[in-house]
Chains A and B, each alone.
Chain A
Amino acid sequence: MVFVENFRIALAALWANKLRSLLTTLGIVIGVAAVIAVVSIVQGLQFQITQQLQGVGATYIMVLPDTGNQGGPGVIARQVKLTWEDGQAIRDRVQGVAYITPVILGGATAKYRDRQHDTLVLGVNDDWPDVANFLVERGRFFSSIDLDHRRKVVVVGLKVVEELRLGPSPVGREIYVGNVPATVVGVMEKKGQTLGTDVDDIVYMPFETSLALFGRRAADQVQIRLQAESAGVVERVKDEIGALLRQRHRIPAGQPDDFQILLQDEILSTVNTILGSVTAVVGAVVGVALLVGGIGIMNIMLVSVTERTREIGIRKSVGARRRDILVQFLIEAITLSLVGGALGAAAGYGIGALVASLLPGDWPPAHVPLWAFAIAFGFSAIVGIFFGIYPAGKAARLDPIEALRYE
């Protein structure tokens, strides 16, 4: 009963000083808004990356040349190579590989009549749709025959069709990719954005043909991407690829690999680690913001206690106990920080949604997990209690006689 009344008294006091209350809690508002905004953005990012990677499946394996490991102490610098011959060796000698393709990529200008468009060119083989889990919507993907004959054919993404204005029937159009003339044989299905790359803005060329564009030396530094037959064999396939490549590259025992083999879940966990540390850093910054906000609250509460010394004296003279005064001022502090937390959560959610809408592609709608709200509110409440207890205690301990005499 008395508690409810103390609560009402506290709210009335805050309401009486609306502007001051709002300014006091601004630090908390900003701190909590930052947490919620960052969490919502990171969650969105994580959601999207996870979805994209899960799209390629748990059997996805990526082999990259690793130039980072050469030149270590006592190592004679070697040219790091990863070639499609390595890929073919993997296909022929490692059991359990379902699909495998080389990937060579670079930028080029696509031209059609008077139109030009800068785009990304991927040189791959006919396994690509199965490796990337990415299908042709119209026409066809290139075949092994196209590859064998080094035919000048390309498959394009929807964005390329739009930019070059290839019209409603793009299949059969003659375009230039760089200075290589090529016939469009297919259009890929719409995929949207991945990690800031527009997957619809890509021209796919047969691997061998792309070497005409990128030059012969590009064949020394390819990526190899493959799908294992099942999730159960992924680890073994990875190990065998490692052993095979070490043997082919003649890497002596004890020397590090000159290639990297990434599995889907490893890529996922790497991404999560990066996002996790982003969250941690932001969390630390936010902690400081909440601390500063809390000090702001304590400061104003101390001012408020001094200003209202007489009020405290009056209340005590009519029978308010210490804990009544303590609770009244503590509720004021907690309410300030909780209202700040609520405003901050709303603002942060708004910022997250705004950022999501500004980013291109299929960004998921701002999603803030319940725990983020819980933590934001919990911290606000703790800040309120922590920084409110001293001023409230000071108010509660005031001597009623002194307080009544206070001018």
Chain B
Amino acid sequence: MALIEIREVDKVYEMGAEKIFALDGLDLDVERGEYLAVMGASGSGKSTLMNLIGCLDRPSSGTYALDGTEVQKLSDEELAAIRNREIGFVFQTFNLLARTDALRNVELPLIYGGMPRRERREKAAAALERVGLGDRMKHDSSELSGGQRQRVAIARALVNEPSILLADEPTGNLDSATSEEIIRLFDELHAAGNTVILVTHEADIATHARRRILLRDGRVVEDSAAAPASPAAGI
């Protein structure tokens, strides 16, 4: 059984009388420990897919099983619990809390997980060490550079040891040198056994992933795993 099993998923938005299929009969399996890049033009359904995988949203129809749990049947409360335990989000705009230091930002998922204070501090500190920010724990996000902020966000995503690290254009707001650092951090995390899903429209970022899928009009139109990854396959 794959970690992520998405079958025949539609996501429909009604714009007045018109129905827009953000996802249109999408199928996708992701195994534990995979390093996946989701690519596609804007409007291809990347963000919708990411929201779905991240349990921020439910499919209009079809099924999504995360580690065997059928997500489309869950309540808001249960979705929140899954986001807390199973998903680590990394956003393009970092999405750190303002006027809050790095340590406290990283603690946030543990707070909602109900972890006691001392244990929480230790885990958050360890996560910040892990991303190389052991000396910046008490800094507010306003005192950190873009790359450092994204590292804090990654530490926050990691801290609860989730099943999936889900990154939405994580380098979109960073210069190329910093982007390189961040993407290498994802490489390391994958090497350490984490499942990483990168949503990006940048081809050179996507090359870091072991598997790449391309979305168009809410469907997977190319998947490097479908054809064995060889130069002859012509991807």
Q: Are B112 and A317 in contact (CB under 8 A)?
A: no
Q: Measured between C-beta atoms, what is the minimum distance from A5 to chain B in Å?
A: 5
Q: Are A318 and B99 in contact (CB under 8 A)?
A: no
Contacts A1-B114, A401-B51, A401-B56; A318 near B109 (Cβ below 8 A): yes
Q: Are B156 and A318 in contact (CB under 8 A)?
A: yes
- Inside 8 A of B28's CB, which chain A residues have their CB? none
Q: Are A318 and B114 in contact (CB under 8 A)?
A: no
Closest B-chain residue to A319, C-beta based?
B84
- Inside 8 A of A324's CB, which chain B residues have their CB? 112
Q: Is B54 an interface residue (CB 8 A)?
A: yes
| A1 CA to B91 CA, complexed, in Å | 28
- Inside 8 A of B97's CB, which chain A residues have their CB? 311, 314
Q: Is A16 an interface residue (CB 8 A)?
A: yes
Q: Are B81 and A321 in contact (CB under 8 A)?
A: yes
Q: How does the 8 Å CB contact mask read for B144-174 relative to A, with 1 for contact and 0 for none?
A: 0000000000001000100000000000000
| A320 CA to B76 CA, complexed, in Å | 10
Q: How does the 8 Å CB contact mask read for A1-24 relative to B, with 1 for contact and 0 for none?
A: 110010000000000100000000
Q: Are B95 and A320 in contact (CB under 8 A)?
A: no
| A144 CA to B56 CA, complexed, in Å | 100
Q: Measured between C-beta atoms, what is the minimum distance from A320 to chain B in Å?
A: 5
Q: How does the 8 Å CB contact mask read for A304-315 relative to B, with 1 for contact and 0 for none?
A: 000000110111
- Inside 8 A of A350's CB, which chain B residues have their CB? none
Closest A-chain residue to B153, C-beta based?
A314
Q: Is A316 an interface residue (CB 8 A)?
A: yes
Give which listed residue, A314, A319, A400, contacts B81 with CB less than 8 A. Answer: A319
Q: Are B76 and A401 in contact (CB under 8 A)?
A: no
- Inside 8 A of B114's CB, which chain A residues have their CB? 1-2
Q: Is B126 an interface residue (CB 8 A)?
A: no
Q: Are A322 and B99 in contact (CB under 8 A)?
A: no
Q: Is A404 an interface residue (CB 8 A)?
A: yes
Q: Measured between C-beta atoms, what is the minimum distance from A21 to chain B in Å?
A: 14
- Inside 8 A of B108's CB, which chain A residues have their CB? 314-315, 318
Q: Is B130 an interface residue (CB 8 A)?
A: no
Closest A-chain residue to B95, C-beta based?
A314
- Inside 8 A of A314's CB, which chain B residues have their CB? 95-97, 108
- Inside 8 A of A16's CB, which chain B residues have their CB? 99
Closest A-chain residue to B168, C-beta based?
A404
| A247 CA to B119 CA, complexed, in Å | 93
- Inside 8 A of B99's CB, which chain A residues have their CB? 16
Q: Is B113 an interface residue (CB 8 A)?
A: yes
Give which listed residue, B76, B85, B111, contacts A5 with CB less than 8 A. Answer: B111
Give which listed residue, B51, B98, B112, contacts A318 with CB less than 8 A. Answer: B112
- Inside 8 A of B89's CB, which chain A residues have their CB? 317-318
Closest B-chain residue to A323, C-beta based?
B77
Q: Are B57 and A320 in contact (CB under 8 A)?
A: no
Q: Measured between C-beta atoms, what is the minimum distance from B55 to chain A in Å?
A: 9
- Count contacts on A: residues with CB < 8 A to the other chain: 20
Give which listed residue, A310, A315, A321, contacts B77 with CB less than 8 A. Answer: A321
- Inside 8 A of A313's CB, which chain B residues have their CB? 95
- Inside 8 A of B234's CB, which chain A residues have their CB? none
Q: Are A317 and B76 in contact (CB under 8 A)?
A: no
Give which listed residue, B80, B96, B115, contacts A316 with CB less than 8 A. Answer: B80
Within 8 A of B (CB), among A369-397: none
Q: Is B228 an interface residue (CB 8 A)?
A: no
| A212 CA to B81 CA, complexed, in Å | 96
Closest A-chain residue to B57, C-beta based?
A401
- Inside 8 A of B81's CB, which chain A residues have their CB? 319, 321
| A250 CA to B111 CA, complexed, in Å | 88
Q: Are A319 and B83 in contact (CB under 8 A)?
A: yes
Q: Are B112 and A315 in contact (CB under 8 A)?
A: yes
- Inside 8 A of A311's CB, which chain B residues have their CB? 97-98
- Inside 8 A of B16's CB, which chain A residues have their CB? none
- Inside 8 A of A316's CB, which chain B residues have their CB? 56, 80, 83
Closest A-chain residue to B54, C-beta based?
A317
- Inside 8 A of A404's CB, which chain B residues have their CB? 56, 91, 95
Closest B-chain residue to A4, C-beta based?
B117
Give which listed residue, B77, B91, B116, contacts A322 with CB less than 8 A. Answer: B77
| A317 CA to B111 CA, complexed, in Å | 13
Contacts A400-B56, A401-B57; A320 near B116 (Cβ below 8 A): no
Query: Which of A5, A316, A319, A320 has the most chain B CB atoms inside 10 A of its CB?
Result: A319
| A310 CA to B111 CA, complexed, in Å | 18
Q: Measured between C-beta atoms, what is the minimum distance from B79 to chain A in Å?
A: 9
| A324 CA to B108 CA, complexed, in Å | 12
Give which listed residue, B57, B91, B109, contacts A319 with CB less than 8 A. Answer: B109
| A319 CA to B111 CA, complexed, in Å | 9
Contacts A400-B56, A401-B57; A319 near B95 (Cβ below 8 A): no
Q: Are A320 and B80 in contact (CB under 8 A)?
A: yes
Contacts A314-B97, A400-B56, A401-B51; A321 near B111 (Cβ below 8 A): no
Q: Are A320 and B112 in contact (CB under 8 A)?
A: yes
Closest B-chain residue to A402, C-beta based?
B56
| A313 CA to B101 CA, complexed, in Å | 18
Contacts A2-B114, A401-B51; A317 near B77 (Cβ below 8 A): no
Q: Measured between C-beta atoms, what is the minimum distance from A326 to chain B in Å?
A: 12
Q: Are B57 and A317 in contact (CB under 8 A)?
A: no
Closest 8 A/B residue pairs (Cβ)? A319-B84, A318-B109, A319-B112, A321-B80, A5-B111, A319-B83, A314-B95, A400-B56
Known A324-B112, A404-B91; further 12 A-B contacts with Cβ < 8 A: A1-B114, A2-B112, A5-B111, A314-B96, A315-B108, A316-B83, A318-B156, A319-B80, A319-B81, A321-B80, A321-B112, A404-B56
A-B residue pairs in contact (CB < 8 Å), sample of 9: A1-B115, A311-B97, A317-B89, A318-B84, A319-B80, A319-B85, A321-B77, A401-B57, A404-B91
